Copies of this chain bind each other. A is one copy, B any other.
Amino acid sequence: MPAKDTGTEELIRSTAKKLFFKEGKLHATTQDIADAAGMNRSAVHYYFRTRDQLIALIFAESMQALSLRLGKVMSAELPFREKIQGLIEVFTNEMMEYPFQEVFLVTEINTAGHDLVTKIDEGPVSSFLNEIEKEMHLGTIEKTDPKHFLINLFSLLSYPIMMSPIYRQFFGMNEHQFDELIAERRELITRTMFK
């Protein structure tokens, strides 16, 4: 018998991810995916049965992978400041590659019948919140609910990238100019978070 060919399946997966999360083609059909992957639409259904299952799968995988990477940084043996820089690095890279991932997630949640928010391991998050609180007592960051600290961090990281089409026009910048602006932000955000 022929060896189970994972190549095609993986190609469909990555192509769908590219269309949805990278190019923001929210309404991409199974035909669109097949075209982009250079194959017959039947293959998509053969491997994933339905469009919804394919979407659910790439969501579960992406969320799983991202929260795993973030969790690793959060619970690493590192000084607080370096952890934050690690989070900035991981999150910025993820957003640069897949700017529409979060947008897609939050919009799909409101589409009836979807249950895309994967159960994540809340352990790293809650112990990192404790660490943030400790840091607040040390005085290196402003005292407030530690959740605000995380929310602020992710806001400053994510929003500009996912809204770039709007803000490029808002500031009258081309793609290259805006990318340079984004590049400046890693350092800027570190400074902002540590007042």
Binding site for B on A (CB under 8 A): 23-27, 100, 102-107, 109-111, 117, 120, 122, 125, 142, 144-145, 147-148, 151-152, 154-156, 158-160, 162-163, 165-167, 169-172, 181, 184-185, 188, 191-192, 195
Q: Pick the contact of A107: B100, B117, B158, B192 (CB < 8 A).
A: B100
Tell me if B181 and A167 are in contact (CB < 8 A): no
Query: What is the copy number of this chain in the assembly?
Result: 2
Tell whether, in the assembled complex, residue A155 and residue B145 are in contact, meaning their CB atoms are under 8 Å apart: no
- Enumerate chain B residues within 8 angstroms of A104, measured Cβ to Cβ: 107
- What's the dominant secondary structure at chain A's contact region? helix
- Using CB atoms, name the residue of chain B closest to A178: B147
Q: List 15 A-B contacts (CB under 8 A).
A: A26-B26, A26-B107, A27-B111, A104-B107, A106-B163, A110-B165, A117-B166, A120-B170, A147-B181, A151-B160, A151-B167, A154-B159, A155-B158, A155-B160, A195-B195
